[in-house]
Amino acid sequence: MPHSAPIRQTLNPTKNACFGLFLAILQKMWLPPQFPTLSHTAPTTTKPLGKTGRSGYRTAVNLSDFDYSLPPERIAQEPIDRRDQSRLFALNRRQRNWRHLGFAALPDLLRDGDLLVLNNSKVIPARLQAAKDTGAQIEILLVEEADAGRWWCLLKPGKRVRPGVRLALKSQQGTNAGITAAVVDKNEDGHYLLDFQGSDNLLHSLQAIGQPPLPPYIRKDFNAIAESDKERYQTVFAKEPGSVAAPTAGLHFTPELLTALRAKGIETTEVTLHVGLGTFLPVKTDNVEDHKMHSERFELTAAAANSINQAKSEGKRVVAVGTTSVRVLESVAAGSSAPLQPQIARTDIFIHPPFEFRVVDALITNFHLPKSTLMMLVSAFASPGNTDGRDFILDAYTEAVREEYRFFSYGDAMLIE
């Protein structure tokens, strides 16, 4: 059994330039609303907060409670040779134990009749190079489309960029791409509204001039991104373009593994949640309940809703592939009574302990950043309706570090059931 000594060491961003850059970028994010937003907070608990639990952790939902120490060398910089050859840390949340397996063993771990819910959002090549009239080099990161041909973006460096400035986009080889971006506006958070001209279909043009928006903890500049990154920072079932970060739990699946799962009687269905930078917005409040999530666009189709409703009515498990799938399903469930209804909307649901899950019965996910909202979500899932799931997850992360698992986007996977 895992030990339960509290983990209090902090991953210090000043000691790791990648995390410093990561947090600096994410502190300036803004996503403009375009669809109705489903706003939810974790339900209140009847259990007292602020007391000391059996394991020695306080049960208050404080930011410091979701911290852990991670050696920088555990952050995966490259994808493993074959997607389904990553490792799988399988947690049993009821028995509070775990097993070390390979991801290819997933068909033997899931049950006949389980329904896998995949996020089919496709990562766009959102990272662009451009130049001002002065020759100054600017990097553009697309965040979200505001209107046809207009995008809210992050610029680096951006302090001296003013509305009216025109940027000339470059090809991946550094030549003029024939597309310009006029700076229309800048909001109070430092985000820029750019009007792109010279392309009838910017999303199509991005395939030739853009690069995948690898997170800053993967230490590659624009010109170092390889063809393998363009393939591997994308799931094999990606269909709907719109994400600026990959739904990384899906990166472990191959067509062959999906076929093997279906042969074992495990069904699949798809939802869409376009991952924005808001998912990774740093929590700045000591009490996590004061944190406000940015919203993200999602779609639950009629076919997916019917598959999920049927599985639940027949007592079969719904297995969410990734926290993004969880956010879709629990957002829809919290917004209306059963059965789930198809819809296109936005969600800013914030799942943290304690939280009662209404749809998801098992979760496939990656390892997450310290003190992140995703750490809070998996902690909530580890013990639904309680606050002690954090203890189990932190102990599991300590074991994963000890066993030299690979962390974050290109890292290994975890199954929580």
Tell me the pTM.
0.85
pLDDT at 36 over 50: no
Alpha carbon of 299 to those of 17, 163, 248, 273: distances in Å? 36, 34, 18, 7
Tens digits of per-residue pLDDT, 60-106?
589 999 999 999 999 999 999 999 999 999 999 999 999 999 999 99
Percent of all residues in the chain with a pLDDT value above 90, rounded to a whole number: 74
Average pLDDT in the 24-36 region? 39
First to last CA, the chain: 17
* Angle ∠(27,28,29) on CA atoms, nearest 5: 100
DSSP state of 50: S
Contact (CB, 8 A) for 401 and 70:
yes
- Burial of residue 41 (number of CB atoms within 10 Å: 0-12, 13-18, 19+): middle
Q: Token pair 């939802």 is at which residue?
A: 271
| Residue-wise DSSP of 71-99 | -GGGB--S--SSGGGSEEEEEETTTTEEE
Token pair of 229 as six digits: 């990154």
Which domains are present in the chain?
A: 13-123+235-416 (3.40.1780.10), 127-210 (2.40.10.240)
pLDDT score for 381: 98
Contact (CB, 8 A) for 394 and 68:
yes
